[in-house]
A and B are shown apart, each in its own frame.
Chain A
Amino acid sequence: MIASLAVALVHIAVVGAGAPLLIGALGTLKARLVGRRGPSPWQPYADFRKLLAKEVVVSTTTSWVFRATPYLLVATSLVTALIVPVATVRPPLAFAGNIILLVYLFMLGTFFLALAGLDAGSAFGGMGSSREVAVAALAEPTVIVAVFALALRADTIDLGRIVERFGSEPHLALNPAHLLAFAAFFIVMLAETGRLPVDNPATHLELTMIHEAMVLEYSGRYLALVEWASAMKLFLFMTLLANLFVPWGLTEPTGPVAVLGGLLALAGKLSVLTLAVAVLETAVAKLRLFRVPELLAGSFALAFLSLMAVFLVR
């Protein structure tokens, strides 16, 4: 009990504190790749501090949904941090419902954030909400189907056990289906977390933005909470991708050393993945909004093919 509580605290601390650094490092790397000096990787912490100190302006049009959403969003991200195998293969809430729960928790967050976007009655918020749910409605099923394709091959639905199985029997991953699932998952990760080529986190041009338009009405501590939750979502998606497809380094939480080893392995994997995302974001342009669903439909098709391949290519 004490041990699993400790693991839970480690998970929350790593995800909660590490997420802003990930966003910051991504920003620094992208700036360096295009020849700018860019902000320090610690910039997001300074941003959060500034936002927390500021006054909040809440539209008179809004209802309690608008004010409750930032807290709920943070809650879904924190609970998800207890389901994803971050530091060990036995995440503390693994028993509560697994990959299906994980996806539906993200959907819970998207649901309320999209409602909050509509709540202020501005056209921007509505536009952002509409686009965000259109992306999420195609992306989130892909996560389930892609992870199921892995789960079927590992013959377990437990995320931690999938990692273990592929770690101990790497030949299982030698399958075209694995590659398809990876491609699908990677595209979805970019879409779900509002990265290029689906959404541009740096833009404030109303007609192209998705996530930024939806949270336009938020300010001060509410904005800090919303941004923190999005950062954690990116961190968790990248962690999931890293640990599912590169399953080494994670063990059972036998002691502090094992947990620390898992964290070090994760840091290494995330560094490589961050660099990859930064390079990709520098190299590609944002897709036209109505081309995005085609990309997502493509990734759903990849995931579905991967699932079928489990039976066709045995």
Chain B
Amino acid sequence: MSPTDQNSQASDLPTSPQTPTDADTSADKNSTTHFGYKTIEKDDKISMVAGVFHSVAKQYDVMNDLMSFGIHRLWKRFTIDASGVRPGNKVLDLAGGTGDLTAKFSKLVGREGKVVLADINSSMLNVGRDKLRDKGLVQNIEYVQANAEYLPFEENTFDIVTIAFGLRNVTDKDKALRSIYSVLKPGGRLLVLEFSKPEHELLNKAYDFYSFNILPKMGELVAKDGESYQYLAESIRMHPDQETLKGMMENAGFEQTSFKNLTGGVVALHKGYKF
């Protein structure tokens, strides 16, 4: 997954023994925010997350496969299946990173449709663009470097917006959700694929152990950057759980919101409509 504050995807499987404290929660309301377990100034987060994803961009896909044992491909397939995409649709793949979802959407919307791959991080965007071009996907894809909180598109533009493993890196998630709501067409849907809270305590413990003991070492070994993967693990733990995120989507104006836990809640797919 890619780094930058808001729209980058990060693929890690973490959780830590720690949980957000009251101080952490109140931090969101002020000028501070989280960077993993650290509380930092909001203005600093974009550059700090960007640093993470600039560092891991080239090894991003390999690390995703390694860290998730390839299951991230199935989570993304599930997202595509739930998207209801059809030929001619306009799709925004936000925090699209290396373009896994964009590749599939591009094939499904056809020549009459369009897919915009947006990411705040230029390194991730470059890797994604090269990868998709190498696959021969050039006809209906546009690339935009954009911040999810301030999407540079007209209102009511897209039929579908997806953000996979990216929302947790966004500084102001509520603002990003409102921005997404604005660019969706009436009847359009948002799909948020993100790490979440495992349903069973045993799985939660195993997940914690994996995230904080194995994941950073794997990052050190493969991407030569253990710190970035430590951050990714922490950021997943700090991300709102299933019900909280559902509530945030409703606050942003989405209707008929729902979520589906995948792999025991390690990942959840949230869905909401704009009517």
Instruction: Report whether chain A binds chain B.
Output: no
